[in-house]
Amino acid sequence: MTKPQGIRTENLSLWYGQFQALLDVSLEIHHGRVTGLIGPSGCGKTTLLRCFNRINERIDGVRTAGHVHILGEDIYAPGVDLVELRKRVGMVFQRPNPLPLSVRENVLFGLRIHFRRGELRKDELAHAVEASLKEVGLWEALKDKLGHRATSLSLEQQQKLCIARLLPLRPEVLLMDEPCSALDPAATQRVEQLIRELRDRYTILIVTHNMAQARRISDECIFMLLGKLIEHRRTEDLFISPKDERTANYVEGRFG
Amino acid sequence: MGVFATSPESRRRHRSQQVAFAVLLAMTVLLVLPVLAILGMLVWRGAPALSLEFLFTAPVRGMTAGGIWPAIVGTMWLVGVSLAISAPIGVLAAVYLNEYARDSWVTRVIHLAIVNLAGVPSIVHALFGVGAFVLFFRFGTSILSASLTLAIMTLPVIIASTKEALAAVPMTFREACWNVGASRWQTIWHVVLPNSIAGILTGIILQVSRAAGETAPILFTGAAVFVPFLPQSVNDQCMALSMHLFTISTQVQSVPQSITYGTALVLVLLVVLVNGVSIVIRSRIRRRRKW
């Protein structure tokens, strides 16, 4: 069996109308590691993240050039089905966005979308709910509240539920856009813990503004500035002995 | 003097605040007065005419006596058929405009057309109805022609209110859907529509009162002064409450005032009833959803 591959981009550029938000980004993100994306606001972190499940295309005037390979396949190739792509590449947003449904239906939403009514057996569904909630550490807290509205949970539980919602589809890549920015420090710590636990099974890419967080949870770190990739190294190296002066200035808090 | 005692400056501000409150309150009361006056007069003058006989029999003796049953039935036909046409078209068009259409000159032209269609006077709609449905499509003066005319009149408002209801569904719900690989249609069907249905229904039901009240669009297209039988199909002509009211108050001599006001009262009550039902439906649906 071949080793699972992560994400590889070649000269990826992206324009919002006339404005170029990504300039020739080439990088390789490895499976089984957490990769942090840091940089000042507007540097293109989130834009880059959103390229990997092609959700940018919903915006008018967006144009991309270059290649993005996920699992060895070019996701911008003509034959790529967005539905299949997004099953494999899940995304977690800044603010938890549970659907206004029960906890159970939130977890099962992906399955319901992708399978016909008759194709899913009851015990399979129940198993999917339990397995997904266990994986994110919510099962004990919510096993008696599966019928409760997801929007009535605490923010921490909502965010974990949003992660759990991706899992029944067996994704390979989890994209996280500042997943802890709406949470308090204690909840942040527990969600970070969860991300560490998920690391081995997925390719995790996490955008963060919080440099301490990037240091805590990422194995590798990418520093971006004005749409360019400046430095991509092991997290320790990037923070302790940055090669580029701009990286050094940023991680030491001299700007940004 | 204490630190927090009133200064002359703050006393002046208090005064201007009170004046502002008084003016705003007065305007609000002014707004309510005409409504109360109209309803009061209708009830006072029209209520004596109301009886089961008045509601459920046809007018007799050149409409100077008898009831208004054919007009009630006719209005229901017109409202029902016109909304059966305009509601599905309007909702689907709004879904397209809000969920699918990109911002291009084509969609901008469509928006412009909708806004302008909403501003067209109803008598112009009537003339268009005569030209298009009665003459060109040869539907004749019939419920179908009148309802189509009413449908065109209510369509832009239904599109606008549906679009607003759709736009009120948070974008994060859609993103959550797309991210598990849902197609646009699945997103609309599973998430957007269930969460906006209350607003959509309200917009549609509000058009009931407009369709029921308009006289001009049905005047030449399908409503008749007097029809001795109840309509059997959309090809028949019919009476209508608004039309009947116009006729007996301006075209026929010596109609007892109680009949005129009674007819108006029934029309208003019908509209109030429908609006009441819509409020109940909306609050039922609202109670189920929380976000």
Contacts of A114 in chain B (CB under 8 A): 181
Contacts of A99 in chain B (CB under 8 A): 173, 176-177, 191
* Residue B106: domain span: 72-240
A92 in any annotated domain: yes
Sign of CA dihedral B213, B218, B222, B223: positive
Q: Which of B102, B176, B195 sits opposite A97 (nearest CB)?
A: B176
At B251, the pLDDT band (50, 70, 90 cuts) reads confident
Beta-sheet strand order (sheet of A19-29): A19-29, A7-16, A62-70, A73-74
B32 in any annotated domain: no
CB A133 within 8 A of CB A70: no
CB A49 within 8 A of CB A177: yes
At B100, the pLDDT band (50, 70, 90 cuts) reads confident
A22 in any annotated domain: yes
A77 in any annotated domain: yes
pLDDT at A1: 41
pLDDT at A3: 56
CA-based radius of gyration for chain B:
24
Return mean pLDDT, chain B.
88
Give per-residue pLDDT as tens, A58-117.
777 888 899 999 988 899 888 888 888 888 899 999 888 898 889 999 999 988 888 887
Give per-residue pLDDT as tens, A142-192.
888 888 888 889 988 999 999 999 998 888 899 999 999 888 888 888 889
CB A115 within 8 A of CB B181: no
Give per-residue pLDDT as tens, A43-74.
888 999 999 988 887 777 888 899 999 988 89
A108 in any annotated domain: no
Q: Which of A60, A84, A113 sits opposite B182 (nearest CB)?
A: A113
The half-sphere exposure of B19 on its side-chain side, counting CA atoms within 13 A, is 6
Q: Which of A86, A100, A114 sits opposite B179 (nearest CB)?
A: A86
Among A109, A161, A163, the residue to mutate for chain B (most B Cβ within 10 A): A109
* Contact assignment for A166 to B179 by CB distance below 8 Å: yes
Give per-residue pLDDT as tens, A3-38.
557 899 999 999 998 899 999 999 999 888 899 999
Contacts of B102 in chain A (CB under 8 A): 60
A105 in any annotated domain: no
Q: Is the predicted pLDDT of residue B286 greater than 80, yes or no?
A: no
CA of B186: how far to CAs of A82, B81, B180, B199, B247, in Å?
Answer: 14, 30, 11, 20, 51
Give per-residue pLDDT as tens, B196-222.
988 898 889 888 888 998 888 898 888
* Contact assignment for A99 to B103 by CB distance below 8 Å: no
Give the pairing type, strands A173-177 and A34-38.
unpaired
Q: Is the predicted pLDDT of residue B237 greater than 90, yes or no?
A: no
Q: Which of B103, B170, B179 sits opposite A53 (nearest CB)?
A: B179
Contacts of A152 in chain B (CB under 8 A): 290
Q: Using CA atoms, how far apart are residues B147 and B77, in angstroms rounded to an integer? A: 8
Contacts of B172 in chain A (CB under 8 A): 93, 95, 97
* Contact assignment for A113 to B180 by CB distance below 8 Å: yes
CATH number for the domain spanning A206: value is 3.40.50.300
The structure tokens listed for A73 are 């396949």
Region of residue A73 (phi > 0: left; psi between -120 and 50: alpha; otherwise: beta): beta
* Residue A16: domain span: 7-99+172-251
pLDDT at A120: 81
CATH number for the domain spanning B139: value is 1.10.3720.10
Instruction: Report the gap between the CA of A82 and the closest CA in chain B (Å).
Output: 7
Instruction: Report the gap between the CA of A254 and the closest CA in chain B (Å).
Output: 34
- Mean pLDDT, range B65-90, rounded to an integer: 91
Q: Is the predicted pLDDT of residue B79 greater than 90, yes or no?
A: yes
Instruction: Report the gap between the CA of B158 and the closest CA in chain A (Å).
Output: 25
* Contact assignment for A93 to B175 by CB distance below 8 Å: yes
A125 in any annotated domain: no
Instruction: Report the gap between the CA of B181 and the closest CA in chain A (Å).
Output: 4
A127 in any annotated domain: no
User: Chain B residues within 8 A (CB-CB) of chain A?
Assistant: 102-103, 170, 172-173, 175-183, 186, 190-191, 195, 289-291
Our count of domains for chain A comes to 1
pLDDT at B23: 95
Chain A nearest-CA residue for B186: A113
B262 in any annotated domain: no
Instruction: Report the gap between the CA of B103 and the closest CA in chain A (Å).
Output: 8
Q: Is the predicted pLDDT of residue B136 greater than 80, yes or no?
A: yes
pLDDT at B78: 93
pLDDT at B252: 81
Our count of domains for chain B comes to 1
3-state secondary structure at position B225: coil
**DSSP string of chain A?**
-PPPP-EEEEEEEEEETTEEEEEEEEEEE-TTSEEEEE-STTSSHHHHHHHTTT-GGGSTTEEEEEEEEETTEETTSTT--HHHHHHHEEEE-SS----SSBHHHHHHHHHHHHS-GGGS-HHHHHHHHHHHHHHTT-HHHHTT-TTSBGGGS-HHHHHHHHHHHHGGG--SEEEEESTTTTS-HHHHHHHHHHHHHHGGGSEEEEE-S-HHHHHHH-SEEEEEETTEEEEEEEHHHHHHS-SSHHHHHHHTTS--
B23 in any annotated domain: no
Give per-residue pLDDT as tens, A228-247.
899 998 998 888 888 888 88
B268 in any annotated domain: no
Give per-residue pLDDT as tens, A120-151.
888 888 999 999 998 888 898 888 888 888 88
Contacts of A109 in chain B (CB under 8 A): 177, 180, 190
Contacts of A100 in chain B (CB under 8 A): 173, 195, 289-291
A126 in any annotated domain: no
